[in-house]
Amino acid sequence: MGGTFGCIGEPLAPMPDAEFIPQLKKVLAPQFKIECFKAPSIKDSSACTAIDWLMLIQQIQSLQLQNFQHFVIIHGTDTLSYAAATLSRFLAESCHVVLTGSQYPLLNIQGDNTREFTDALDNLNTALDAVTRLPVGVYLAFYHQVIHARTTLKAHSTALDAFKGLKAEQQIAVDHSVIQVQLSHIEKAKSLNIVNWMMVPTEILQFERWQTQQPGVRSIQETMENVLSKIADEPIILHGAGRTDAGVHATNMVAHFDTNAIRPIRGWLMGSNSQLPKDISIQWIKEMDNDFHARFKAKARRYRYVVYQSANRPALLHKQVTHAYYPLDVDKMIEAAQKFQGTHNFESFRAAACQSNQPVRHVKHCRLIRHGNYLVLDIQADGFLHHMVRNIMGCLLEIGQVSWLSDNDNQKEFAENWYWLPKAVYVNDVGTTINTIILTIRSAIGKIKIDVNRFKSSFSDKFKEALLTIG
């Protein structure tokens, strides 16, 4: 079902199944008699929907008729908990199923050998052991533990022990009824919307920002510094991995501080959380080397923005999504998002107040994924300029309202014109919960430096120029 496990290259991309399966067989223990099958759908797991899982269940139930009774499923981690719960409900105790995945690829960049450091092999071996040892049922194997699939919860986005749940040895109530997947189930699933929310309290909106900048403005940094200073009995200055815009908050922020105080790790963690307000929670604390810096040692930063496209505005989610009430050409937006991947000069996608010395950034991935009425922009880079991601999101929304992208054979000739790009779209009034940003769009005026007469549409020239120069 896709995922980091079977990816190779830089940036990571799925290895074709015809090449991956032979490499996978090389690492399988010889005592197991194993046959490998390609899942019905191979895609980024963050794009998986109920349809994909129902088709997978249908494939398993078909293989059961051929006397297969033990199944290990390799799945991406983004929606692994959803897949586990779905399979558990439909398959119940009809066969032995263990799902697994990994935070690191199994193979190296070239795809010709196992990666020097990877959790993929350990997770796979744990799953293979569990599928032959445990009673019938559906389980998830990850980081040396096996848990009941129906209790699975993703607790961390990048940590090796990413999943929590009731251990396989514990007894749980099980629905013994098996549901055979029918065409009607798949048809119904087409109208089911699933968004991969991180479980973060919505009260985070009560904070103005992460960073302490203005007196009297409630920030996460200042609130945590006050608590940590009490525990350390000395002033504490907290350094975050990123300096988010006002109203934007991280769901997995790493921060560090220096102190002369000696306290047990549990004391720092429990003491801090007992004094912090309910809308701030420290997930873990560990002692680091003196040369560690949360900001400058960060390898990547990742954002997810969610847009709700419908003529009717969302009521319960109005503080968690952007409402696009107008029609959007999502295919064009998906194509345009891919243009941002790679190393580019993002001069025209940063704010005038940006203090970065240079505008070049490497975007590891930029994907727009549709989940029913929801559009999720998932972007990861080595760093972001001030307002860079907001401007990218706004540009994609504008692109979605036209049909001019494509049929232009001369896109590459504009690839060096970055400096002359207009400030294509500025997205402001930002609030955030659960990896989500609320966006309000306003256009900005920029100079035109290229000939755009070749376009078939009369759409605003500045956006045509913006996208062409990305390519």
CA separation, residue 33 to residues 19, 71, 99 (Å): 20, 12, 18
Is 245 a residue of the active site? yes
Catalytic residue among 44, 78, 119, 245: 245
Helices (H), ranges, 35-182: 50-64, 80-91, 120-133
The pair of three-digit structure tokens given for residue 105, joined into one six-digit string? 């690829």
Distance CA 425, CA 107 (A): 40
Q: What dihedral do alpha carbons 221, 272, 274, 199 form, nearest 10°? A: 60
For residues 148 and 164, the answer to whether their CB atoms sit within 8 Å is no
Phi then psi dihedrals of residue 413, to 5 deg? -65, -15
Q: Which of 124, 134, 130, 128 has the alpha carbon at shortest distance from 100?
A: 124
- The pair of structure tokens assigned to 275 is 């004094």
Q: Which amino acid is at 293?
A: H
Q: What is the DSSP letter of 4?
A: G
What does the alpha-carbon distance between residue 437 and residue 300 come to, in Å, rounded to a whole number? 19
Beta-sheet strand order (sheet of 70-74): 70-74, 96-100, 137-142, 145-148
Q: Which residues pair with 4 in a beta bridge?
A: none
- Cβ neighbourhood burial of 401 (10 Å; 0-12, 13-18, 19+): middle
Q: Residue ranges of the alpha helices (H) in 341-418?
A: 388-399
Catalytic residues: 245
